[in-house]
């Protein structure tokens, strides 16, 4: 017997309709590429996203056509999120930190018809436009008078000119909720990038889940600063969850440095912020020497890479800001787990609470997870056994776009490529990417643990641990370190700092000081590149 409830498809257009009707006066504040601060409301987002939809119709774009953006977090990007997906086209967010050749590759692979870009990325567009034959129209996110006269880009339009001639009335089409809504390419550390193709249904379910109290806990009383980019995995779904809850949105635009982020947090009374650890490191480095304080910030969600304990402690103890550690990936829309405490943890000592906060957290309702050994046998949830982490759920990929890379699933589960433990309470902790685990004398050493100890040293800004070939032990860890400006630490001092903090055999064999650690397009350390940098390196004594 079927239920007798209305079968209304879950569509992204309904989010902006809802925000307009119920939170029409809710504010959206953006630091613009133009340098000023722009301020308007959900009502205007809704009107202008309908103008975007009309403009795409006027360009004769078909249902399902891919429309790309190369843009910072800002109000025009938000309008494109709703206008493109809402009208049945597929929003392809391009990560501008990729190499121009890779950007060309993804634009051709997805067969983008139109590309909207921020003026900061004009040099990229100049470099690639001639190699993107599917693109009919390039649109700069600016006023008509800001368009460069001599760009050499045929079919270049200004966004404001393009949408201003369109009516703000538009009836959002109704269609199957499983229709593709947006896509995001993984960074392609092995082979060509592969794209996750999200659907309206997966996006709405993810938006509901992300807003839950034990996940991001978003509401109409929040002022949210997503520093996590809208050009990669939909800024962790925040644009959708914000419209669903009516939260105020504060967009940093190109200003990701500590000073700009701090100023926005204070001036816009931000209560909640989201970003990768490197961004928060820049913010803390700006605040600490100047003795600055937060007046409104309550919570910050940190993910994308392991959040070092020293950062959690700094936010918590010095600033009274709760850190929520999060884990996910492009293939998961991206949220998988978030670390929030249970009632029984509240009476624990700060030290014990910290042990929990360091974990990547509990599965969000909708995500199933398990850990398995090399034979695929499931491992116990005891917080000790570690194995390959597999996931499934309605916002986890079933296949990559165009079947790239073959069937990604194993018996219906998606292998994340991460190695993790899960404890009896369901808290998952990533010990490593499977390719980064250091195998020493038949035992595994977590590179994340070794890095976390190094960055707890006051003179260390960044640390990357990699395994080096060893004739007896197979591999031995070394740690590459970037010092904080004006601070000093010697190899011997840092190795001594490890004593008592980890088992003796896990202490790195050596410390290598570098000016910088290679970083990827999504703010993660690139260990393959680091290995290239250190290709002539030899372990001491060999
Ligand atoms: P990319 O940016 O390389 O395309 P993703 O953004 O999908 O890839 O990154 C997903 C990976 O990032 C995860 O599989 C995991 O290895 C790592 N990651 C994400 N969050 C965390 C976290 N909180 N702690 C440790 N690793 C994390």
For the chain, the average pLDDT equals 95
Domain with CATH 2.30.38.10 in the chain: 338-433
Residue of 93, 186, 271, 300 marked active site = 186
Q: Atom 2 (ligand 1): residue with closest C-alpha?
A: 522
The CATH fold assigned to 13-199 is: Rossmann fold (3.40.50)
Region 225-254: mean pLDDT is 97
Question: Scanning the structure block, which residue is given the tokens 């433990």?
Answer: 421
Q: Atom 24 (ligand 1): residue with closest C-alpha?
A: 306
Is 331 annotated as catalytic? Answer: yes
pLDDT digits (tens, 9 = 90+) for 484-499: 999 999 999 999 999 9
Question: Scanning the structure block, which residue is given the tokens 């199933």?
Answer: 368
Domain with CATH 3.40.50.12780 in the chain: 13-199
Q: Is 183 left (phi over 0), alpha (psi -120 to 50) or beta?
A: beta
Residue with the bigger pLDDT between 441 and 361: it is: 361
Q: Indicate the helix (H) or strand (E) that contains 313.
A: helix 309-313
Residue of 111, 444, 484, 502 marked active site = 444
Region 330-345: mean pLDDT is 97
Q: Is 53 left (phi over 0), alpha (psi -120 to 50) or beta?
A: alpha
Backbone angles phi, psi at 390, to 5 degrees: -120, 150
CA 413 to centroid of ligand 1, rounded, Å? 18
Region 69-84: mean pLDDT is 98
Specify the pLDDT at position 526. 87
CA 328 to centroid of ligand 1, rounded, Å? 6
Q: Is the CB of 301 under 6 A from ligand 1?
A: no
pLDDT digits (tens, 9 = 90+) for 425-482: 999 999 988 888 898 887 888 898 899 999 999 999 999 999 999 988 889 999 999 9
Tokens at residue 104, please? 């060309």
Specify the pLDDT at position 191. 65
Is 278 annotated as catalytic? Answer: no
Interatomic CA distance for residues 383 and 502, integer angstroms: 17
Domain with CATH 3.30.300.30 in the chain: 437-533
* Beta carbons of 539 and 476 less than 8 angstroms apart: yes
The ligand 1 atom at the shortest distance from the C-alpha of residue 430 is 25
Q: Is the CB of 306 under 6 A from ligand 1?
A: yes
Q: Is the CB of 330 under 6 A from ligand 1?
A: yes
Specify the pLDDT at position 473. 87
Q: Is the CB of 206 under 6 A from ligand 1?
A: no
Highest mean pLDDT among 90-94, 348-352, 534-538: 90-94
Is 439 annotated as catalytic? Answer: yes
The arrangement of secondary structure in 437-533, i.e. its CATH architecture, is 2-Layer Sandwich (3.30)
Specify the pLDDT at position 537. 93
What percent helix, strand, coil does the chain show, rounded to 5? Answer: 30, 25, 40
Give the strand pairing for 90-93 and 66-70.
parallel
Is 186 annotated as catalytic? Answer: yes
Give the strand pairing for 223-226 and 272-275.
parallel
Q: Atom 13 (ligand 1): residue with closest C-alpha?
A: 329
Instruction: Choose the CATH number for 338-433 among 1.20.1440.230, 2.40.30.10, 2.30.38.10, 3.40.50.740.
Output: 2.30.38.10
The gap from C-alpha 336 to its chain's centroid, in whole angstroms, comes to: 12
Q: Is the CB of 186 under 6 A from ligand 1?
A: yes
Lowest mean pLDDT segment, chosen from 108-112, 123-127, 504-508: 504-508
Q: Atom 25 (ligand 1): residue with closest C-alpha?
A: 306
Region 226-233: mean pLDDT is 96
Residue 210 has pLDDT above 70, yes or no: yes
Specify the pLDDT at position 274. 97
Q: Is the CB of 86 under 6 A from ligand 1?
A: no
């Amino acid at each position: 017997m079927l239920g007798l409830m209305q079968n209304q498809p879950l569509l992204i257009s309904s989010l902006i309709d809802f925000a307009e009707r119920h939170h029409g006066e809710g504010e959206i504040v953006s630091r613009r590429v133009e340098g000023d601060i722009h301020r308007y409301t959900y009502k205007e987002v809704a009107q202008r996203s309908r103008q975007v939809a009309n403009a795409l119709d006027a360009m004769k774009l078909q249902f399902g056509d891919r429309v790309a953006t190369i843009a910072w977090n800002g109000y025009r990007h938000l309008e494109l999120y709703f206008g493109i997906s809402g009208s049945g086209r597929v929003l392809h967010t391009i990560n501008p930190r990729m190499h121009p050749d890779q950007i060309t590759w993804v634009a051709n692979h997805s067969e983008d018809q139109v590309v909207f870009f921020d003026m900061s990325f004009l040099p990229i567009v100049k470099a690639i436009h001639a190699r993107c034959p599917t693109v009919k129209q390039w649109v700069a996110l600016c006023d008509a008078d800001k368009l460069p006269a001599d760009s050499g880009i045929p079919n270049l339009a200004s966004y404001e000119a393009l949408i201003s001639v369109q009516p703000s009335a538009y009836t959002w089409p109704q269609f199957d909720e499983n229709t593709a809504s947006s896509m995001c390419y993984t960074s392609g550390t092995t082979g060509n990038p592969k794209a996750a193709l999200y659907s309206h249904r997966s996006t709405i379910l993810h938006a509901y889940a992300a807003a839950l109290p034990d996940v991001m806990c978003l509401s109409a009383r929040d002022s949210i600063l997503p520093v996590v980019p809208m050009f990669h995995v939909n800024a962790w779904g925040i644009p959708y969850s914000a419209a669903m809850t009516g939260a105020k949105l504060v967009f940093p635009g190109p200003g990701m440095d500590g000073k700009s982020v701090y100023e926005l947090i204070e001036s816009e009374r931000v209560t909640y912020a989201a970003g990768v650890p490197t961004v928060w490191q820049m913010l803390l480095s700006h605040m600490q020497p100047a003795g600055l304080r937060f007046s409104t910030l309550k919570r910050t969600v940190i993910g994308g890479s392991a959040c070092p304990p020293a950062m959690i402690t700094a936010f918590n103890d010095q600033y009274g800001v709760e850190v929520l550690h999060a884990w996910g990936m492009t293939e998961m829309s991206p949220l998988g787990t978030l670390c929030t405490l249970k009632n029984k943890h509240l009476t624990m000592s700060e030290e014990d609470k910290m042990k929990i906060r360091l974990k990547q957290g509990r599965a969000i309702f909708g995500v199933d997870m398990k850990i398995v050994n090399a034979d695929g046998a499931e491992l116990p949830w005891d917080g000790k056994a570690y194995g390959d982490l597999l996931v499934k759920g309605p916002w986890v990929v079933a296949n990559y776009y165009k079947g790239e890379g073959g069937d990604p699933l194993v018996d219906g589960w998606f292998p994340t490529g991460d190695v993790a433990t899960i404890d009896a309470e369901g808290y998952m902790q990533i010990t490593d990417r499977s390719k980064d685990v250091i195998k020493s004398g038949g035992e595994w050493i977590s590179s994340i643990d070794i890095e976390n100890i190094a960055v707890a040293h006051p003179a260390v800004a960044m640390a990357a641990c990699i395994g080096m070939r060893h004739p007896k032990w197979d591999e031995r860890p070394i740690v590459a370190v970037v010092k904080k400006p004006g601070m000093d630490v010697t190899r011997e001092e840092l190795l001594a700092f490890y004593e008592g903090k980890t088992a003796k055999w896990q202490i790195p064999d050596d410390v290598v000081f570098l000016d910088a650690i290679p970083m990827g397009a999504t703010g993660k350390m690139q260990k393959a590149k680091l290995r290239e940098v250190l290709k002539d390196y030899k372990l001491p004594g060999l």
